[in-house]
């Protein structure tokens, strides 16, 4: 995890708009971002599940990689099949270290010979340095602090966006296109971090507030902050780097083996391949699982888990009260012997054991448009 910054939090191009909308600003990954608006986290969460919510995710790092061999170059550092990524499509991938740990998870989109990367805010500096130091010659890596990123998420997101950009309605999940949105040149993907249908829109920073206001003017759309984003992604079973995955976690432990391209599993030519293959062949000692605790109290990160016989079982990495489930949910790493769905465990809350059961994820089914 990145060390805490001593500098004041940076502000996104929408900072003034957040204040005007009553956003409660908090520091996050070196940025000042709204954790919620006056309606509250639960209302914002339900807004996304039922209608459409607009999130400011401009803190995320945006890079581009140029050159005729850009995809092959990135494959030397990532686990995905990127040379097989078609133009106009996007793919989730992982940067790994020599021990098989996850340096970061990222989205990679392709337009012609250019790759567009979106990386985690707290890892953007490290990722850029890592890529710059290890990419082979002949590629041009650029950072884009001049771009903001908006996430319009929810079942009615397409209705709102299509009025400003009719071409968006024809996109499928993980499509990636350069489109005009309300007359502004943007990069648009049909994807997101909530489990709902929706779009992420990369926009020039100087046009971000104009576009955000146009989207918020649509009747289906309301703003949402970090709090709802976290509860939504946890319901959707999506891990967060620095909490559920990190440099000491392999893709096998994290349940992310689907991100390893089939061709890459034949060649085993990415960093950490030997360690990852060992976990695949012989089983990882621990596994990231879903957890359903009894009662109403959320089980937070760091909570110790016990097996039925009282032995140590693992530790919670993320936990919240899930509005859609109307119950607490969590992610936890547990040892392999107690990782099967339906396994009873106990979470130690203030020293008292609370019954919990290992559960499949996602907790709420995804609603992507394919």
Neighbours of 111 (CB within 10 A): 15
d(CA 147, CA 41): 27
Q: What is the structure's pLDDT at 250? A: 98
Residue ranges with strand state E in 210-285: 221-223
Q: What is the pLDDT of residues 345-357, one digit of tens each?
A: 999 999 899 999 9
* % residues pLDDT > 70 (the chain): 98
| pTM, 2 dp | 0.96
Token readout for 133 is 């130091």
Task: State yes or no: pLDDT of 48 exceeds 80.
Answer: yes
d(CA 251, CA 213): 39
Phi/psi at 118 (5° precision): -120, 120
Q: What is the structure's pLDDT at 7? A: 83
Q: What is the pLDDT of residues 75-84, one digit of tens each?
A: 999 999 999 9
Look up residue 160 and give its DSSP letter.
H
pLDDT-based confidence at residue 322 (cuts at 50, 70, 90): very high
Give yes or no for a contact between 232 and 197, defined as CB atoms under 8 angstroms apart.
no
Task: State yes or no: pLDDT of 3 exceeds 60.
Answer: no
- Dihedral sign for Cα 293, 297, 302, 308, please: negative
Task: State yes or no: pLDDT of 258 exceeds 90.
Answer: yes
Task: State yes or no: pLDDT of 2 exceeds 70.
Answer: no
Average pLDDT over residues 252-268: 97
Domains in the chain, ordered, with CATH? 1-282 (3.30.1360.120), 285-359 (2.40.30.110)
User: What does the mean pLDDT of the chain come to?
Assistant: 97
Q: What is the pLDDT of residues 261-317, one digit of tens each?
A: 999 999 999 999 999 999 999 999 999 999 999 999 999 999 999 999 999 999 999
Task: State yes or no: pLDDT of 244 exceeds 60.
Answer: yes
Q: What is the pLDDT of residues 14-42, one digit of tens each?
A: 999 999 999 999 999 999 999 999 999 99
Task: State yes or no: pLDDT of 1 exceeds 90.
Answer: no
Token readout for 16 is 């003034």
Q: What is the structure's pLDDT at 328? A: 98
Q: What is the structure's pLDDT at 5? A: 52
pLDDT-based confidence at residue 321 (cuts at 50, 70, 90): very high
Average pLDDT over residues 352-364: 97
Task: State yes or no: pLDDT of 333 exceeds 80.
Answer: yes
Task: State yes or no: pLDDT of 6 exceeds 80.
Answer: no
Neighbours of 162 (CB within 10 A): 15
Q: What is the structure's pLDDT at 4? A: 52
Beginning with the edge strand found earlier in the chain, give each strand of the sheet holding 184-189 in spatial order. Answer: 176-181, 184-189, 198-204, 147-153, 52-56, 221-223
Average pLDDT over residues 44-63: 98
Q: What is the pLDDT of residues 91-131, one digit of tens each?
A: 999 999 999 999 999 999 999 999 999 999 999 999 999 99
Instruction: For helices 208-216 and 157-164, give the axis angle rounded to 10 degrees.
Output: 120
Task: State yes or no: pLDDT of 172 exceeds 70.
Answer: yes
């Amino acid at each position: 995890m990145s060390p805490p910054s001593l500098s004041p939090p940076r502000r996104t191009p929408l900072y003034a708009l957040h204040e005007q909308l009553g956003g409660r600003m908090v520091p996050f990954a070196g940025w000042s971002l709204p954790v919620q608006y006056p309606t509250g986290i639960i209302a914002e969460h339900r807004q996304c599940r039922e209608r459409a919510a607009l999130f400011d995710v401009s803190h995320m790092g945006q890079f581009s990689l140029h050159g005729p061999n850009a995809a092959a170059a990135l494959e030397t550092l990532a686990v995905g099949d990127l040379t097989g990524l078609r133009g106009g499509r996007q793919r989730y991938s992982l940067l790994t270290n020599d021990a098989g740990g996850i340096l970061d998870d990222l989205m990679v989109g392709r337009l012609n010979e250019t790759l567009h990367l979106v990386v985690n805010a707290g890892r953007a500096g490290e990722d850029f340095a890592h890529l710059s130091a290890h990419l082979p010659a002949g590629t041009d890596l650029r950072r884009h602090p001049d771009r903001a990123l908006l996430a319009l998420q929810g079942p009615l997101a397409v209705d709102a966006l299509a009025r400003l950009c009719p071409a968006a309605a024809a996109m499928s999940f993980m499509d990636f296109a350069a489109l005009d949105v309300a007359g502004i040149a943007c990069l648009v993907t049909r994807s997101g971090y909530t489990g709902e249908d929706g779009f992420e829109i990369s926009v020039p920073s100087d046009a971000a507030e104009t576009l955000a206001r146009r989207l918020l003017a649509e009747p289906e759309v309301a703003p949402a902050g970090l709090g709802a984003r976290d509860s939504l992604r946890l319901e959707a079973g999506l891990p967060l780097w620095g909490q559920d995955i990190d440099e000491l976690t392999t893709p096998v432990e994290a349940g992310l083996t689907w991100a390893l391209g089939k061709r890459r599993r034949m060649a085993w030519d990415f960093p950490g391949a030997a360690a990852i293959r060992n976990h695949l062949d012989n089983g990882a000692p621990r596994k990231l699982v879903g957890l359903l605790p009894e009662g109403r109290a959320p089980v937070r990160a760091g909570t110790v888990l016990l097996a039925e016989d009282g032995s140590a079982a693992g530790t919670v990495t993320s936990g919240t009260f899930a509005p859609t489930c109307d119950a607490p949910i969590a992610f936890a790493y547990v040892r392999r012997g107690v990782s099967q769905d339906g396994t009873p465990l106990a979470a130690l809350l203030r020293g008292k054991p609370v019954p919990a059961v290992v559960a499949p994820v996602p907790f709420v089914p995804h609603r992507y448009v394919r």
